[in-house]
Amino acid sequence: MDAQGLGTGPLQNVQRLPGGTQNILLRFDRSGIGYVLRRPPMHLRDSSNEAMRREARVLAALAGTDVPHPRLIAACADTAVLGAAFYLMEPVDGFNPTGGLPELHAGSAAIQHRMGLALVEGIARLGALDHVALGLSDFGRPEGFLERQVSRWRSHLDGYAKLPGWTGIAGLPGVERVADWLDAHRPVTFEPGIQHGDYHLANVMYRHDGPELAAIIDWELATIGDPLVDLGWVLATWPDPAFAETSSVKPWIGFPTADELVARYRKHSTRDLTAIGWYGILACYKLGILLEGTHARACAGQAPRDTGDLLHARAVGLFKRALRWLDAA
């Protein structure tokens, strides 16, 4: 920070921020200015440093756009400084709805309805950006992106077999059927763009004074792919009252229906949403496999069993949702 001209003297008011289950977030002040440091976990994964460098790169590219995001202050790719790549960003003046709603938002169905619409407007804006003009032409491999999805994630699922005690794919309803359907009904073409990769209510922050987005956060899975995958992810994680599905956001008194979310995205995007059902089923497939990974590790004693069981139940729910949508399609 001295070399970057970012204040002088000691770091003050240092506190760890909640919400980062994989990475570490620290807020602090220096010379009266607030900063947030983001770095990988202390026990690095193989991809940790590269993921942090990519996050910093996409945040730098988003500067000056209409996509709400934390403003990047400085990034350090050199692991010699802290033992890992890291970056500094401005603190976001906002709240995450999964951590509890302020009184203003909890008591108004109209505000909650607008919160849902603002959520999909955020990814519509992201998908509309020209990634080449923003310097991200080499940030991903859009060629064959959709063709790779099912085989990639099926390989990911098969990899859990090396974990002793895992109950296997028999515990996940319809894995083979969903995979076969996705391959058989895959969209022929798509328009490449910036894809957040993990877009849902837990990865956004809202303004305290109203229903608008303050920032989209957690960009570690961002790539150049098909932005409609982000909309599919929203739909896959959106509660369905028809099947008694509840949300981690409470109270849930005014949020839009899934159909309203799709209609709002269509209003703010030129993309063809004819196959949006396919993207929702793909999101169920991918997210279900990701969540099952924690269950597999829990079976092997590498993660808390209660967490593993909880996420296994969510994975089962996602595959059941995919089968309902598949039958409807």
Could you read off the pLDDT tens digit of each residue along the chain, which spans 329 residues? 999 999 999 999 999 998 655 789 999 999 999 999 999 988 787 888 999 999 999 999 999 999 999 999 999 999 999 999 999 999 999 999 999 999 999 999 999 999 999 999 999 999 999 999 999 999 999 999 999 999 999 999 999 999 999 989 999 999 999 999 999 999 999 999 999 999 999 999 999 999 999 999 999 999 999 999 999 999 999 998 777 677 889 999 999 999 999 999 999 999 999 999 999 999 999 999 999 998 998 999 988 899 899 999 999 999 999 999 999 98
pLDDT for the residue numbered 21? 56
pTM for the model: 0.93
The strand pairing partners of 26, in sequence order, are: 16, 37
Angle, vertex CA 183, rays to CA 193 and CA 280, nearest 5 = 55
pLDDT for the residue numbered 246? 75
Contact 140, 225 (CB under 8 A): yes
Q: Specify the DSSP class assigned to residue 27.
A: E
The answer for 293, left when phi > 0, alpha when psi is -120 to 50, beta otherwise, is alpha
Which candidate, 327, 309, 296, 293, places its Cα nearest to that of 178? 327
Q: Can you tell me the distance from the alpha carbon of 88 to that of 38, in angstroms, rounded to the nearest whole number?
A: 6
pLDDT for the residue numbered 46? 81
pLDDT for the residue numbered 67? 98
CA 210 to chain centre: 22
Q: Where are the alpha helices (DSSP H) in the chain?
A: 48-62, 103-106, 109-128, 145-158, 175-184, 228-237, 258-267, 276-299, 305-328
Q: What is the 3-state secondary structure (H, E, C) of 53-103?
A: HHHHHHHHHHCCCCCCCCCEEEEECCCCCCCCCEEEECCCCCECHHHCCCH
Which candidate, 145, 125, 149, places its Cα nearest to that of 287? 149
The strand pairing partners of 207, in sequence order, are: none
pLDDT for the residue numbered 45? 77
Domain architecture of the chain: domains with CATH? 12-89 (3.30.200.20), 97-328 (3.90.1200.10)
